[in-house]
Amino acid sequence: MLSHLRAELVLAARILMRQPGFWVPTILFPAMLYSFFGASMAEGPAGIYALASFAVYAVVGVGFYQFGVSVAQDRETPFVLWQRSLPGAQWVGWAARIVVAMVVVLAAVGMVLLAGRWIGGVIPGRGETMRLLVACALVSVPSVLMGIALGSAVSARAAVPLSNLLFLPLAYLGGLWMPPALLPDSVAAISVWTPTRAMGEIAWAAIDGRAMPGRYLALLAGWTLLAIALTALAQARHRRAMFG
């Protein structure tokens, strides 16, 4: 079991690390966007909320891209089929990929924190940082599940453009790029139903040390269940297509 997990971790990490074109932008992009827009838009005490927003944006990005795209690409490849013929449980491979994704999330969030310090002049306290990291870890679970749903539902070719199409508007609608208060009214009405808004609210509450907002926890749980249901449906469809 342990040697299996180690082998999967090494394999997943090697495959990822040897594609710098993939992980470098994933890690740098949120920090870059924060530096260009987030840092200047929210000055003073609001600055820390912008920091939290872009940290959440980084988490959602890894969930959508690393999982959405890789799940679609890996489905039914000869390599994955061959792996299934080897001894050992299938979930170990998934666990390894999630661990590797967590490392990437941590790096991306870390870059946002560094950009906050150097460019935004925002230095969260130790408690705030810890709570923000916990919120990011919490939010990464629905992100990954939504990525898996996306990757299960569509072909590998469609996964990249589709995750762009969903991810970028969702980040905007959810108030991750600019505070929800600054969103036009029509957008604000949609915003309160998006999963990204729920994730943002959770992170902002964490910064303040407030109780998690119940409405948004429920909303996020709803989206997560929807993602799980979509995954189950799509997987059943693939199984039928493959197993006859």
Partner 1 sequence: MLQAIEARGLAKRFGAVTAVEGVDLTLAPGEALGLLGPNGAGKSTLLSLVTGLRPADRGEIRIFGHPAGSEAARKSMGLTPQSAAFPPQITPRELIAYASARHGKRPDTDRLLTAFGLQRLIDRRMAGFSGGEVRRVALALAFCGAPRLAVVDEPTTGLDAATQEAFQSLARDYVASGGAMLLTSHHWDEIEAICDRLTMIDRGQRVLDGTLAEMRATMRINRISLVVDGAAPDWLPAPDTDGRRHLESADSDAVVTRLVREGVGFRDLLIHPLALKDILAHLRHEV
Residues lying near partner 1 in the complex (CB under 8 A): 3-4, 6-7, 10-11, 14-15, 18-19, 77-79, 81-82, 84-88, 242-244
CB 90 within 8 A of CB 210: no
CB of 242 vs partner 1, minimal distance in Å? 7
CB of 88 vs partner 1, minimal distance in Å? 5
CB 12 within 8 A of CB 96: yes
User: Judged by CB, which is closer to partner 1: 73, or 129?
Assistant: 73
User: Judged by CB, which is closer to partner 1: 88, or 110?
Assistant: 88
| Runs of H (alpha helix) within the chain | 2-17, 20-33, 39-41, 47-61, 70-74, 78-84, 90-115, 126-153, 156-173, 185-191, 195-208, 214-243
CB of 183 vs partner 1, minimal distance in Å? 41
CB 46 within 8 A of CB 180: no
Structure token digits, residue 241: 């297509």
The residue written with tokens 């940290």 in the block is 55
CB of 158 vs partner 1, minimal distance in Å? 21
CB of 8 vs partner 1, minimal distance in Å? 8
User: Judged by CB, which is closer to partner 1: 3, or 186?
Assistant: 3
**3-class SS of residue 155:** coil
User: Judged by CB, which is closer to partner 1: 81, or 232?
Assistant: 81
User: Judged by CB, which is closer to partner 1: 74, or 187?
Assistant: 74
The residue written with tokens 């762009």 in the block is 164
User: Judged by CB, which is closer to partner 1: 2, or 181?
Assistant: 2
Burial of 105 (0-12, 13-18, 19+ CB in 10 A): buried
CB of 238 vs partner 1, minimal distance in Å? 13
